[in-house]
């Protein structure tokens, strides 16, 4: 019972050293259960490294406690997927390879096909069913990767810059889709992003990382001029009124330099 | 040893001159077992980008035979055992070293070739025995070899039935597969072991120089022809079998009189060419 109430993730003095370089230095942070947590920071801040350590792909010192030590079912959406463009590998097969016991060379079963269709519906991409994975655009690939992650019925969804390489409108729609899914399925979500507007608009918890944790908390508490200055090393301010956040969308909540007059 | 006479009788019904001779029947049976295995594994080799891996394991045959001859172990035992060890060693180093995968293979490749050459250079009479492993000869496979090949074929079918989907997952992204609880490591080690053994049998039939072609060319042709990953599996097997049987038939014609292994690969390359033309015509029609 205690584990059910525990935070989704606790990073307890996590350090990663690679080639003598401290990539992460004593990172202590908490990801509350059910939250949308965004990791922000400049390039080289260790955001992706922290996700890789969480996934067990990067050896680290310290402790990463997931689900109070019991572990959580994971869904992972990488930034991109290197797929051979000419490989005849359909989206239906891609979404069936993890659930179908029968080898795919005997065809995709009716049940797996129906499940793939349901998942693609869930990510608003039913038209991609018969497409080859290698021919998908960046935005389409993100939706298919999200569908693959959702297939796991994740308790913790991990996303590494899902909007990278996707246009502004595509990024906005993807975030709204994630918001709906999180609300309906109740998973915890942790993602790396460079999009401060998105973080301000959608996140419930923000971790500002620059090798160590600079600040963490709600966007209102964390996305302040001093924190952004420390993170990005320039005069940053954030136009972010409460009304704008709730009614006017992402564009109303954007990072700007201090030279721009504040609203 | 199981009685395989029914299998050879079946092969003798193949309408080809010389099929009344046992060595031809054995060669046809061996090819009909080997070609589907190399072709189907070739699909996974292409998906995993492991062509260099199979090349390294193939070249380890040279050292395996040489070491076997020096130690007095029959080459048909020393070669697959050494190849298996090399394949698993590469897989282990790739998983646990910080070096890029092709660098790991390059190092192991160099080590096994150098070992083979070093052993042979000590005794010139060994060089004569090793020549058949450079060029291969399907006609020299014995009935015992075919029994082993049958056992390997059974293991191959079982592996493909149980692990095909998981290997596809892991080959697409090892990190996603691991996060989604797919037992990728076990599948990859088993795949490496199976591939190493199949490569070793292929060395006997087409030789070290052409072993990678036997794996890659049918898969490459299938890549152009198929519309799905499942389809690619069957297309590769069809191209592999067609090339093997046609290549064997052509190689024994008096007007050809060429090495069976090389002829099989040439036919497979012809199939690849046709598949590329077919794919480009198909995309033009669209």
pLDDT in tens, A197-219: 888 989 999 999 999 999 999 99
Whether chain A has a CB inside 8 Å of the CB on B160: the answer is yes
Instruction: Check: CB of residue A154 under 8 Å from CB of residue A208.
Output: no
B224, pLDDT greater than 70:
yes
Which of A156-165, A183-192, A238-247 shows the lowest mean pLDDT across its residues?
A: A238-247
**Any domain includes A261:** no
| Residues forming beta bridges with residue A40, ordered by sequence position | A208
The pLDDT of residue B228 is above 90: yes
Here the CATH number for the domain that contains residue A79 is 3.40.50.300
Residues in chain B: 286
**Residue B265 pLDDT exceeds 50:** yes
Q: Do A87 and B47 touch (CB under 8 A)?
A: yes
Interface of A with B (CB under 8 A): 52, 55-57, 74-76, 78, 81, 83-84, 86-90, 93-94, 96-98, 100-101, 103-108, 133, 145, 148-149, 151-152, 158
Between residues 34 and 73 of chain B, which touch chain A (CB distance below 8 Å)? 46-47
Is A117 contained in some domain? no
Tell me how many residue pairs between chain A and chain B have CB atoms under 8 A apart.
Answer: 94
Sign of CA dihedral B241, B247, B250, B251: negative
pLDDT at residue A167 greater than cutoff 80: no
For residue A29, is it within any domain?
A: yes
Is the pLDDT at A241 greater than 60, yes or no? no
From chain A, pick out residues whose CB is under 8 angstroms from the CB of B226.
88
Determine contact: B95 vs chain A, CB below 8 A: no
Cβ contact, residue pair A55, B179, below 8 Å: yes
Could you give the number of structural domains in chain A?
Answer: 1
Tens of pLDDT, residue by residue over A155-165, are: 999 999 887 77
Q: What is the pLDDT of residues B12-61, one digit of tens each?
A: 998 887 888 888 899 999 999 999 999 999 999 988 888 888 888 888 88
Q: What residues in B contact A149, CB-CB < 8 Å?
A: 180
Three-class SS of residue A103?
coil
- Do residues B136 and B58 make contact, with C-beta atoms less than 8 angstroms apart? no
Strand locations in chain A, DSSP E? 9-18, 21-31, 36-40, 61-66, 74-77, 156-160, 188-192, 205-210, 212-217, 236-238, 255-257
SS (H, E, C) chain B: CCCCHHHHHHHHCCCCCCCCCHHHHHHHHHHHHHHHHHHHHHHHHHHHCCHHHHHHHHHHHHHHHHHHHHHCCCHHHHHHHHHHHHHHHHHHHHHHCCCCHHHHHHHHHHHHHHHHHHHHHHCHHHHHHHHHHHHCCHHHCCHHHHHHHHHHHHHHHHHHHHHHHHHHHHHHCHHHHHHCCCCHHHHHHHHHHHHHHHHHHHHHHHCHHHHHHHHHHHHHHHHHHCCCHHHHHHHHHHHHHHHHHHHHHHHCCCCCCCCHHHHHHHHHHHHHHHHHHHHHHHHHHC
In percent, how much of chain A has pLDDT > 90?
63
Instruction: Answer left, alpha or beta for residue B124, where phi above 0 means left and psi between -120 and 50 means alpha.
Output: alpha
Mean of the pLDDT values across residues B187-212? Answer: 89
State whether residue B98 sits within 8 Å of chain A by CB: no
Residue A44, domain member (yes or no): yes
Contact between A197 and A254 under an 8 Å Cβ cutoff? The reply is: yes
> How far B224 CA sits from the closest chain A CA (Å)?
8
A115 found inside a domain:
no
How large is the average pLDDT for residues B198-206?
A: 87
Please check whether residue B262 is in contact with residue B210, taking contact to mean a CB–CB distance below 8 angstroms: yes
Mean pLDDT, range B233-246, rounded to an integer: 96
> How far, CA to CA in Å, does A80 sit from each of A146, A156, A175, B260?
12, 19, 17, 45
Flag whether A164 is in a domain.
yes
User: CA-to-CA distance for A206 and A41, rounded, in angstroms?
Assistant: 10
Contacts of B207 (CB under 8 A, 6+ apart): B132, B133, B134, B135, B136, B261
B interface test, pick of A19, A77, A103 with most B CB neighbours within 10 Å: A103
For chain B, domains (ranges, CATH) are 5-208 (1.10.3470.10)
Handedness of CA B115, B121, B126, B131 (dihedral sign): positive
Give residue B129's pLDDT. Answer: 64
Across chain B, mean pLDDT equals 89
Q: Domain limits at A179? A: 3-83+136-254
User: Using one digit for the tens of pLDDT, what is the confidence trace for A96-149?
Assistant: 999 999 999 999 999 999 999 999 999 999 999 999 999 998 889 999 999 999
The reply to whether A120 falls in a domain is no
Taking the C-alpha atoms of residue A110 and residue B160, their distance in angstroms, rounded to an integer, is 21
Q: Are A133 and A48 within 8 A, CB to CB?
A: no
Could you say which DSSP state residue A247 is in? Answer: I
Is residue A173 very low, low, confident or very high in pLDDT (cuts 50, 70, 90)? confident
B228's tokens: 């799905």
Q: What is the pLDDT of residues B60-91, one digit of tens each?
A: 887 888 888 788 888 888 888 999 999 999 99
DSSP letters, A68-81, are GGT---EEEE-S--
Nearest by CB to residue A83, choosing from B172, B227, B232, is B172
What is the mean predicted confidence (pLDDT) over B176-188?
91
| pLDDT(B146) > 50 | yes
Report CA dihedral (A165, A167, A168, A173) to the nearest 10 degrees: -100
Kindly tell me if the per-residue pLDDT of A249 is higher than 70: no
- Distance of alpha carbon A143 from alpha carbon A122, whole angstroms: 9
Structure-token match 């290549």, residue found:
B247
Average pLDDT along chain A: 85
**pLDDT at residue number B168:** 93
pLDDT over 90 at B99, yes or no: no
pTM metric for this prediction: 0.85
Q: How far apart are CA A24 and CA B101, in angstroms?
A: 26
Residue B247 pLDDT = 94
Nearest C-alpha neighbor of B11 from the set B158, B151, B146, B206: B146
What 3-state class would DSSP assign to A141?
A: helix
Q: Does residue A239 have a pLDDT over 80?
A: no
Residue with tokens 């039913």: A126
- Rounded CA gap, B233 and A154, in Å? 32
d(CA A199, CA A176): 12
Whether B179 contacts chain A with CB within 8 A = yes
d(CA A146, CA A185): 13
Would you call B180 and A100 a contact, using CB atoms and an 8 Å cutoff? no
- Computed on alpha carbons and rounded to an integer, the radius of gyration of chain A in Å comes to 19
A198: helix, strand or coil: helix
pLDDT at B167 over 80: yes
Query: Residue A261: pLDDT above 50?
Result: no
What mean pLDDT comes out for the span A55-59?
Answer: 91
Whether A124 is in a domain gets the answer no
Cβ of B175 and A78 within 8 Å? yes
Residues of A in contact with B165 (CB under 8 A): 96-98, 100-101, 103-104
């Amino acid at each position: 019972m205690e584990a059910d109430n525990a935070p989704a993730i606790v990073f307890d003095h996590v350090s990663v050293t690679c080639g003598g370089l401290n990539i992460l230095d004593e990172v202590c942070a908490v990801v509350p259960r059910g939250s949308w947590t965004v990791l922000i920071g400049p390039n080289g801040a260790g955001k992706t490294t922290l996700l890789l350590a969480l996934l067990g792909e990067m050896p680290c010192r310290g402790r990463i406690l997931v689900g109070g030590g019991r572990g959580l079912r994971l869904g992972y959406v990488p930034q991109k997927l290197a797929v051979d463009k000419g490989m005849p590998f359909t989206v239906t097969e891609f979404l069936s390879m993890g659930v179908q016991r029968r080898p795919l060379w005997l065809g995709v079963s009716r049940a797996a096909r129906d499940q793939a269709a349901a998942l693609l519906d869930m990510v608003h991409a039913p038209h991609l069913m018969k497409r080859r994975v290698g021919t998908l655009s960046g935005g389409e690939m993100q939706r298919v990767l999200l569908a693959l992650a959702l297939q796991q019925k994740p308790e913790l969804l991990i996303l590494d810059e899902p909007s990278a390489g996707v246009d502004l409108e595509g990024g906005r729609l993807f975030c709204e889709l994630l918001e709906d899914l999180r609300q309906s399925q109740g998973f915890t979500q942790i993602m790396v992003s460079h999009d401060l507007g998105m973080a301000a608009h959608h996140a419930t918890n923000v971790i500002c990382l620059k090798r160590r944790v600079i600040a963490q908390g709600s966007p209102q508490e964390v996305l302040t001029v001093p924190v952004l200055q420390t993170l990005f090393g320039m005069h940053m301010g954030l136009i972010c009124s409460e009304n704008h956040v709730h009614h006017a969308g992402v564009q109303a909540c954007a990072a700007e330099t201090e030279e721009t007059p504040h609203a | 040893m199981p009685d395989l006479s029914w299998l050879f009788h079946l092969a003798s019904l193949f309408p080809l001159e010389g099929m009344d001779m046992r060595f031809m029947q054995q060669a046809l049976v061996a090819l009909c077992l080997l070609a589907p295995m190399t072709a189907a594994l070739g699909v996974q080799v292409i998906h995993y980008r492991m062509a260099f891996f199979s090349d390294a394991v193939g070249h380890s045959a040279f050292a395996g035979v040489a070491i076997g001859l020096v130690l007095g172990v029959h080459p048909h035992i020393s070669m697959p055992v050494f190849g298996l060890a090399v394949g698993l060693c590469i897989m282990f180093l790739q998983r646990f070293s910080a070096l890029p995968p092709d660098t790991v293979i390059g190092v192991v490749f160099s080590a096994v070739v150098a070992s083979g050459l070093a052993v042979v250079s000590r005794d010139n009479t060994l060089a004569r025995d090793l020549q058949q492993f450079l060029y291969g000869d399907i006609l020299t496979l014995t009935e015992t070899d075919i029994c082993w090949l049958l056992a390997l074929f059974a293991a191959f079918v079982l592996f493909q039935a149980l692990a095909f989907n998981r290997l596809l997952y892991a080959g697409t992204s090892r990190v996603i597969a691991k996060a989604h609880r797919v037992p990728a490591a076990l599948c990859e080690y088993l795949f490496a072991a199976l591939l190493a053994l199949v490569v070793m049998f292929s060395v006997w039939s087409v030789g070290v120089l052409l072993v990678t072609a036997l794996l890659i060319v049918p898969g490459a042709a299938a890549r152009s022809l198929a519309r799905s990953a499942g389809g690619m599996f069957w297309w590769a097997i069809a191209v592999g079998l067609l090339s093997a049987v046609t290549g064997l038939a052509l190689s024994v014609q008096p007007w050809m009189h060429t090495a069976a292994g090389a002829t099989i690969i040439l036919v497979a390359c012809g199939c690849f060419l046709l598949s590329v033309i077919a794919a480009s015509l198909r995309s033009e029609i669209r």
